[in-house]
Structure 1
Amino acid sequence: MSGTAWLSLGSNLDAERNLVSAASALRERFPGACFSPVYRTPAIGFAGPDFLNAAAVIDSDLDVHALDAWLHALEDAHGRDRSQPRFSSRPLDIDIVFFDDLVLDGPGHLQLPRPELKHAFVLRPLFDLAPGLRVPGDGRTLAELWAAQGGEPGMARTGLALG
């Protein structure tokens, strides 16, 4: 099953280079990929360098599980070390936030919609791409969620453009 995937991208280790490289790989594999503005956000859950965060929307010819595996391989190619604690610095983190209107809990870590949608660093870039998008299983739009969320202290839009 192919479909439209909405992705969250983040990095706090050589962040600019890793995000630009990841965006290039996504555009090469999924022509027509669109990217949000990039935001600088303080690390959440641990002391570490600020993250650069963005969102992307792609039309995927892969099903959700194959896409998740492809994204993990992309993270690995950028030096992602999965033996580190969940809340730690990383060169690249890409999560599928939505895949069409699929609601999924597992296997493994794959949850759709992603629970991290509650965080401004995931929600704001997605809102920039599609404020009217309705959250599967919830029904509220990203604009409604953003209005209720209210932002995150220290979050700032950067001048970095991914495409």
Structure 2
Amino acid sequence: MAKVYISVGSNIEPEKHFRLGLQALSNHFKALNLSSVYLSEAVGFDGGDFLNMVVGAETERTINEVVDILKAIEFENGRAKDAKKFSSRTLDLDLLLYDDKICQLPVRLPRSEITFNAFVLWPLAEIAPNLVHPELSKTYSVLWQEYDKSSQLLKPIAFDFLGF
């Protein structure tokens, strides 16, 4: 059984899409572990604020299968197939980690955004503080402690998951 970590983001009807996305993730993966929800500014473009979180889960699926499931969930929630990388979105699901695998294909693992986006690193450090980054050999807690927190505005918010 592999342990995976998935970032979740939305700035278009984010409460609705978070609930739908989490319900879909729970249909495909086991033992979901949810971080707090964080409010962040759009990074890389002018857009509305995002809600972000990280979900830990267990799976017997391959990396390819996990990536395909995440893309399908995004599309089921209104993500345009031709969406630009830096744009508003209904639901953005990114595989951050698959056990301690390091690879470039089908996606780069560990995902590079872990170390430079506060909205990925803080929630990951919250639910997996003692997990070690497979390339940097530091825990996510240490990486968060070392992170320049003035570089991105981010704050935890109360979020009612309503059972997803």
TM-score by length of 2: 0.92
Measured in 1, the distance between the counterparts of 2:31 and 2:141 equals 24
The residue aligned with 2:98 is 99
Q: Give the C-alpha shift of residue 138 in structure 1.
A: 1.7
For residue 31 of structure 1, what is the aligned residue in structure 2? 30
- Report runs of 4+ in structure 1 exceeding 2 Å deviation: 150-154
Which residue of 124, 144, 147 maps to 2:145? 147
Which runs of 5 or more residues in structure 2 are unaligned?
A: none
Is the Cα–Cα contact under 8 Å of residues 37 and 161 in structure 1 kept in the other structure? Answer: no
Structure 1: unaligned runs, 5 residues or longer: none
Per mean C-alpha deviation after superposition, the further-off stretch among 56-65 and 24-33 is: 24-33
In structure 2, C-alpha distance between the alignment counterparts of 1:95 and 1:161, rounded to whole Å: 22
Q: Which amino acid is the alignment partner of residue 64 of structure 1?
A: I
After TM superposition, the structure 1 stretch with the greater mean CA deviation from structure 2, 28-37 or 89-98, is 28-37
Classify the secondary structure of the residue corresponding to 1:16.
helix
Corresponding residue number in structure 2 for 1:114: 111
Letter matched to residue 130 of structure 2:
G
| Distance in 2 separating the partners of 1:134 and 1:53 | 22
Q: Please give the root-mean-square deviation of Cα atoms over the aligned residues, in Å.
A: 1.3
Taking the aligned partners of 1:91 and 1:158, their CA distance within structure 2 comes to 19
User: CA 1:102–1:161 in 2, change beyond 3 Å: closer, same or farther?
Assistant: farther
C-alpha contact (below 8 Å) 1:38/1:161 kept by paired residues: no
Please give the alpha-carbon distance, in whole angstroms, between the structure 1 residues aligned to 2:153 and 2:9. Answer: 16
Q: How many residues align?
A: 160
Quick one: percent identity of the two aligned structures?
32
Distance 2:125 2:81 in 1: 29
State TM-score, norm by structure 1: 0.93
